[in-house]
Structure 1
Amino acid sequence: MIDTCTICGLRVSRGSLQTHLAEIKRRAQHGEGAWLLTLNTEMLARSVREPDYMRLMSTADVITADGMPLVWASHFKADGGPIDGRTTGVDLVHALLQSDDVPAFAIIGGKAPWVTVQAYGPRAVQACKYVFEDKVDLSEAQLSTFCMELAQREVKVVFIALGVPKQDHLASALRKRLPNLVLTGIGGSFEILSPGGGRAPAWMQRAGLEWFYRFGKEPARLWRRYLVSYPVGVWHLFKDCLVSRA
């Protein structure tokens, strides 16, 4: 059982990256399945204007803090205690693919994810059982195809690289149909981890400035996310902390 604290009405795990990595492997090995959601401030901003999305996120089995603002906010919460560091989609993909016992996994979405998988060596390549890079429309026909492919190939973990909120809708739909799978939305993680990608320096990650590093690399694509959605999410987080301290 993972300890949690309540942030903006969601039960967020207080565990570390290693805790979540071990939980994914345990569930995959025993066929328990789970939807693991990595929560960030963009998603919090969306939940303010879209109550249905908030309800969708609340159904995830495990929610981790993807972003230092959530970790910092946990220090002000009365219940549970502080979160033991952030767990991002990038962190999870990297940790799983470089481990000695990579569970059988599939990738839905992303840009050239197979290139990234190959960069992690033969264990990751052997464990990768299915890659789907075409358009995802969430139709019943496509969901049936996914379920058939994932079941036949005996996949244990599914990385969904579609961005918010599509990856969350797909994770929820697959969770209902294949309850033995471990599913997690990881956005552009495979692009960041690719040979041509790159993460922010460690000090920027610790300071909560990785968003600024990404924005500097792709301002035309990311300006709305970081200059509009990000502040709204941070403000929602700030108000939640004030209420909890009242």
Structure 2
Amino acid sequence: MSKYRKSFSSPVNVGGLSIMPFASMDDALDQVISDGHVTPGFGVSVNSEIVMLARRDPALMAHINNAVLRFADGIGVVKTIASKGVKNTRIPGCEFWEALMLRAGKSDIPVMLIGAKPQVNEAAVAQLRAAGVNVVCGIDGYFDDEDVLRKALSQHQPKIITVAMGAPKQEQLIVRLREFYPDAFYLGVGGTYDVYTGHVKRAPKLFCDLHLEWFYRLCAQPTRIGRQWSLAKYLALHLTRQL
């Protein structure tokens, strides 16, 4: 284990995924950046949907369990860990990403952003640079050839790469990029760039405090109903202690 890692407790098995409990956001950030050094590898923010996806996809489960950072994003996962007698805190993925970017900025660590629509990626790059983050490259998610990404990695030598393409597509891309460029930390961030730039509105604070972001998103996007069904399945497994 890297000398920079400070997990709050031993990993906890949640539906086959080995999740790392943390007492705070800072403890999770220390897994990636400590004293200006970046731990190579990749991180995964785990919610109920990811758990259910991984249970159906052995390759995805193996990939997640190989991550140097596996933290509980969804409240369902937090509750499952707590039911096993382990203290932990929820770390929202979008908040973790922004905190990671700001910490990288303090140490002038080069960062690369991949994914999202062109205007969203450009806006995220601009806002981060305005906040003092050393974003060396931004490439939207509409590239035709992954060689574009590999050339950018070789040219700009980023130490942190975040990919906004949704699970499991972003995780699959990270696997391929790490084979070519392993000496960096990768993080899949879903729709985080959209939220950060204001292209997608995050749930109001009341919904966040009540851990009902999923309900707010469902009301705003009824087409998500198919994805939300996995939450009901997760809840059933949680209540019957099958996770």
Give the alignment's TM-score, normalised by structure 1: 0.82
| Distance change (3 Å), C-alpha of 1:97 and 1:49 | closer
- Does the alignment pair 1:146 with 2:149? yes
| Distance change (3 Å), C-alpha of 1:151 and 1:19 | farther
| Residues 195-240 of structure 1: CA deviation (Å, up to 9, x unaligned) | 34332233322322011112222223x22212x222223334444x
| Residues 68-123 of structure 1: CA deviation (Å, up to 9, x unaligned) | 11111111115xx222x222321122213445516321111112122133334524
Which structure's relative contact order is higher, taking Cα pairs within 8 Å and 6+ residues apart? 1
Secondary structure at the counterpart of residue 37 of structure 1: strand
For structure 1, the 5+ residue unaligned runs are none
For structure 2, the 5+ residue unaligned runs are none
| Distance change (3 Å), C-alpha of 1:30 and 1:176 | farther
Structure 2 CA distance for aligned equivalents of residues 149 and 98 of structure 1: 22
| Residues 2-49 of structure 1: CA deviation (Å, up to 9, x unaligned) | 23222222221111222122322239x435312100111111121232
Q: 1:24 aligns with which of 28, 32, 39?
A: 32
**Equivalent in the alignment of 1:203:** 206
Question: Shift in Å at residue 167 of structure 1?
Answer: 0.7
Q: 1:106 aligns with which of 109, 112, 125?
A: 112
Q: 2:45 aligns with which of 38, 43, 58?
A: 38
**Equivalent in the alignment of 1:224:** 226
- Do 1:13 and 1:62's aligned partners in 2 also have CA atoms closer than 8 Å? yes
| Distance change (3 Å), C-alpha of 1:103 and 1:232 | farther
AA partner of residue 115 (structure 1): A
Structure 2 CA distance for aligned equivalents of residues 209 and 172 of structure 1: 32
Overall identity of the aligned pairs, in %: 23
> Once superposed, what is the RMSD of the aligned Cα atoms?
2.4
Secondary structure at the counterpart of residue 166 of structure 2: coil
| Distance change (3 Å), C-alpha of 1:122 and 1:200 | same
* Aligned residue pair count: 231
AA partner of residue 135 (structure 1): Y
| Distance change (3 Å), C-alpha of 1:26 and 1:147 | farther
Structure 2 CA distance for aligned equivalents of residues 24 and 31 of structure 1: 6
Q: 1:193 aligns with which of 168, 193, 196?
A: 196
**Equivalent in the alignment of 1:96:** 100
